[in-house]
Amino acid sequence: MSAIRERRTVDLPLLSPDPIDDQTLGTLLEAANWAPNHGRTEPWRFAVFTGEGRTKLADALAKSLALSQGKEEPAPEARETQRERQRMAPVWIVVAAQPAEKPRMPLYEEQWAAACAVQNLLLAARALGLGSKWISNVPSMHPHTARALGFPEDSTPLGMLYLGHVAGEWPAGKRGPAQDKVRWFRD
């Protein structure tokens, strides 16, 4: 319950540049792999970017943003802005839902299962003391981004996450009472 209550969206400027080791990343991806999914299809797919690998992600996102604006290529300054942004977090993970070859489930169930994998990863990140954020903006969900990063044509991009150690105080959060969001029906 602590990881659930303390999980926060942590803004990029609040992260330290300290790297996250491969063992920790493996633990997070293993947590994601144990998400529930109807049909046991395990549709979640991840592309992990660290170090100089973040440049590939930045370039794909810059091009996707340009394409979404009706341009063929991003302006050089837009590409550099994106690269600077990707350098602000030591780890970026792009997420997609990959339907089974012979789907038994509707696509939305595969997407929801992948979203559950993301939540598992975010909770595990908090349990390990890492800050994170799930982004589902236009460039991160653009089909060009998914294809440029090697996801199959029939996969659905679900956005991306970033991870890092929090520099300073852990952000506070607030929620209204759960009972205000529940309707009970009893005998």
Question: Which residues are documented as binding site?
Answer: 7-9, 38, 134-136
pLDDT at 58: 97
Q: Among candidates 121, 134, 131, 115, which has minimal Cα distance to 167?
A: 131
pLDDT at 52: 97
Cα 6 versus chain centre, distance: 18
Instruction: Please give the share of the chain, as a percent, with pLDDT higher than 70.
Output: 100
b/e per residue 83-120 (b: at least 16 CB within 10 A): bebbebbbbbbbbbbbbeeeeebeeebbbbbbbbbbeb
74: left (phi over 0), alpha (psi -120 to 50) or beta: beta
**pTM, rounded to two decimals:** 0.93
Mean pLDDT, to the nearest integer, of 35-53?
94
Q: What is the DSSP letter of 88?
A: T
Question: Which residues are documented as binding site for FMN?
Answer: 7-9, 38, 134-136
Domains of the chain: 2-52+89-167 (3.40.109.10)
- The larger pLDDT score, comparing residue 149 to residue 101, is at 149
pLDDT at 70: 96
Distance CA 114, CA 86 (A): 23
Residue 103 has pLDDT above 80, yes or no: no
Q: Residue 39 — pLDDT band, cuts 50, 70, 90?
A: confident
Distance CA 91, CA 4 (A): 21
Residue 84 has pLDDT above 80, yes or no: yes
pLDDT at 17: 94
**Token duo for residue 187:** 């005998």
Q: Residue 53 — pLDDT band, cuts 50, 70, 90?
A: very high
Q: CB-based burial of residue 36 (10 Å sphere; 0-12 exposed, 13-18 middle, 19+ buried)?
A: exposed
Q: Residue 173 — pLDDT band, cuts 50, 70, 90?
A: confident
Q: What is the DSSP letter of 114?
A: H
